[in-house]
Each structure stands twice: as C-alpha cells, then as structure tokens.
Structure 1
Amino acid sequence: MKLATLRLDGATAPVLVGDTTATVIDGYADLSELLTAPDWKTLAKQASGRTVDLSDADYAPVVPNPGKIICVGLNYATHIKEMGRELPRYPTLFSKFKEALTGPYDDVIVPAYAASELDWEAELAVVIGNEAYQVSAADAETYIAGYSVINDYTMRDYQYRTLQWDQGKTFEKTSGFGPVLVTDYALGSRIETRLDGRVMQNATTDDLVFTPAKLVDYISHIVTLQPGDVIITGTTGGVGHARKPPRYIQNGETVAVSIEGIGTIRNRTIVE
C-alpha cells in the first residue's frame, strides 16, 4: 500500500495512491493525523473520498507534522569509511525539526548566507505507526507504518561550526520528503542521488550498519516513539563534502534522490 499527503484546495489531505490516481481518505488533515488513528491501515485501505489525478498532483511532505524527527549519522559502511571513521558500536543520533521538511518536488530556497557548502544526503526514512517504548528489534516491524525517501539536505559550514550537527541539518524547508509512504519494503534495493542528472551516490540499503529494526529498538529504549514520528537512517558514500575537491550544490541545480521500490524526490535549489 502507498500513501501520500497532497495539497488540495488550499489545504492538505491524506490519500491512498494508485497507479495514476489517488483516493482521498476523508476525515483527516494529512498523513500525520491519520497515523494517530489506531485503525489507520483499515481506514486507508477503505478510502472512498474524491479521486485525484496524480499527473499534476501537488505533493506535500509525506508526513508533514511529525512529533519527532530522529536522524542517524554515519550509518552506511561506505560513508563511514569515506569519512575516515571506524564502524560505530552505537548509533549517532541528532534531531531535525519539522520546519525543515518540504514537499518531494518543491524548490528549496536557501538564504545566501547559508549557501557556501550545500550538500546532499540520500536517506531511507522510517515512519512509526504504533506507540513504541522499549521495543525489541525482533518486534520492531509491527511498530513501523512504512518507509519513504528523504534528502537530509545539509549546510556543511553550519554543521561543523560546533561539535553538534543539528544547526547544519534543519534549515527551513530544505529536506524534500516523500513522495509516498510504502507499507511494505525490504532492505537491499538501490539508493541513489543524482545532481542535475549525474550520479553522485549509488548503493543499496542493506549497507546499513543499524537497520530500521535495530534503530527502533535502540531509540525506543531512550524515548517513546509516537505514531507519525520519523527516523532518518543515514546516508551512503558519495556526499559532496567528502569529495576531493569538495562538490557542493549550486544555485539552480536539482538534486534527485531515489530508492528503488519507494520512489524519487526531486528538488531544485534556489539561492536568495
């Protein structure tokens, strides 16, 4: 099953996504709100609202209002090695605020003062579907609503101003998120970033050191994960900052992030 949040008539609505059309799931403002319903999966499967043509649909961030966005740094073996580090014993966690999210096809507007070292990070996003506290990895799948695609768009100069990364990771409306939430996904498919069509990252999601199940286990032993919360699982090798010389996103360039079996987000950067 594929779900999304669309902008419709000045508001938003959660939808059940088909091949060429989507069906509105009535009674909920977006997918974030739908996921708080205990029977959200049944409600989605039984969607009977208006039909929307997807050819010109306006996608919002797939989960627009997560209570928490928990990011994982250095979680792909290839990326860890290119950054000159050893494989970690525990996940490196940091936060992103919901204001950093933008639609999967929206332009990313960057203020000029933050535009000197713009970087891409293709990531698999995990969305929580049931309240999870002290959940084991063996049981974690039953607490996951589904999976999506996100670009952990990063201002590297801000990121490395201090030892804390958050400030370079959460600039307003910079992280394309979507286009859909898929409820059935298995690790191992292709994850890729293209910058104006040129492949910059190319790996498979089974290169993760800490899988989604292990992350739910680890994080839920720290804090309760609520329906609609998002875990961003880390990026693979090929980021611009690690290249020699570094390669950063320039004004007018488009970053496309794809995960086979889920979809592609595509965001153009505009420097103001």
Structure 2
Amino acid sequence: MSGTPLGAGSPGLRARLRAPDFPWWLVALGALALGAGAAILGDAGLRQTLRILSVGLGTTVLVTAIAFGGALALGLLVALAGRSRHRFARNAARLYVEIVRGVPVLVLLFWIAFAGAPGLVAGWNWLATPLRDAGLVDMLMVRDVSLLARAVIALVVAYSAFVAEILRAGIEAVPAGQVEAAKALGLGPLQRFRLVILPQAIRTVLPPLGNDLVAMVKDSSLVSVLGVADVTQMGKVYASGSFRFFETYSVVAYLYLLMTVSLSLGVRALERRLRRAA
C-alpha cells in the first residue's frame, strides 16, 4: 500500500519539475541564500557584523512601513484629485505629480530635510502665535523635528507621485459600465468607490505597487545620508571603524536581498490569491 502514493505522486512531481514555468531561479536563489547565511553564521567576524547591522534593521523596516503607508494615503488623494470634475483640482494634482517625479529622491530628501522642514516650522510658529501668546504651546524649533521624521516625509512625498499615477490608472481601468450599473442600483459615490471601483482596481495595481514597495525598501537606504541609523548607516559606521569593507557591505547587501525578495514573493502570492478569488 505504501508504494501506491509514491507511484501516483512521482509522475506528477516529475511533470511539475519539467514544466517550462517551474521557478528554478527561486530554487537557485534559495540555495544561494542558505549558503550565504551558513557562511555568515559560521564565521565569528561575520556574525559580529550581522549583529551590529541588525540594530539598524528595525529602523529600515519602520521607515519603509510608515513611508509607504503615507505614500499610499497621499497618492490616493492626488489620484482622486486628478479625476475630479473641478479643473483646479485636476491641474493642481497634475502639477504636483510632474514636479515631484521630476526631482531625484536624494535631492528631494535634502530639500525637505534642510529647506522644507525649517520653512514648515516657521509657518507653524506664525500660525500658532495666538496659542503661544496664551501659553498653550511652546515655540517649535527646527531641531525638534528629527532627521528620521524628515526622511520619512521626503519618502512619502517622493513616492506619492508614482503611487498616484498607478492608482489613477487602476481606477480608470474599471469598466465604465460597472460604475453606471452601480449608479443605477442607487449606490452613492463613496459606496461605488468602496464596493465596485476599489476591489477591481486593487487587482490591477497590485503588481506595480509591489514594485514600488520593493523600490522603497532599497531607497530607504538614502536616509543614511542624514545620519539615520538604518542598515546602510550602521554598515558605513562599522566599516569605517573596522576597515572590513568587503565583509560589511556583503552582509548589508545580503540583508537587503532578503527583504526585497521576501516582499516580491509575498506580493506574487497575494496576486495569485486575488486572481483565484476573482
């Protein structure tokens, strides 16, 4: 009896392995990841490097999660403004997208950190003058806005323009007949968006949004130029003090690969699940 399942299952397994779309690249990548992980854990110096870099791993994850969530929220507002019936809202949204997309992320990071943040603080202090005179709030100083907060704001602004274009395309891809049918059923604008447009748009925009999430994980390394203690900054500090540049940046690259490949596989799995649900 024990030979029956093996005899029945082996041909199917062999057929899947011979299939042209079998992800051999994933098998090779997994083998490389396991081999690199074993090499890191088996070497005392590399283990120490990994332990030091892991201190910045939480900052990298935190920056990516907050910035991507903020970019989704702001991008959705810009996308809806771009499809508004009001000419001013449409033109303001297009102007925002074109300006932000035309500036490199690193330049935008420097501008918001060293020009935008002081301007916002000055504006807040001017608006809060009555509250400050009443003793309700204190004067806000530029140093009160942390470099981490400035870096997150810069990433939110930078990626919101790309997210807005993705969401706008996904919303416009929903067939107009379904929106008209929802109107005929008496659904209001918010109900139509939540029940008809959004579920279908999500399936369309999930792959490009997943690409943007992976790109943000990599671009989060730019916050190291402000001294934020993420993985890249911790690696830069450790390599400068130990002169172990090859080992340190190899571990840095390994950590980023683990994060980005895991996210890519997670997005693909969610994609397949949504396709089956549809």
More helix by share: 2
TM-score, normalising length from structure 1? Answer: 0.24
More strand by share: 1
Higher Cα Rg, which structure: 2
TM-score, normalising length from structure 2? Answer: 0.23
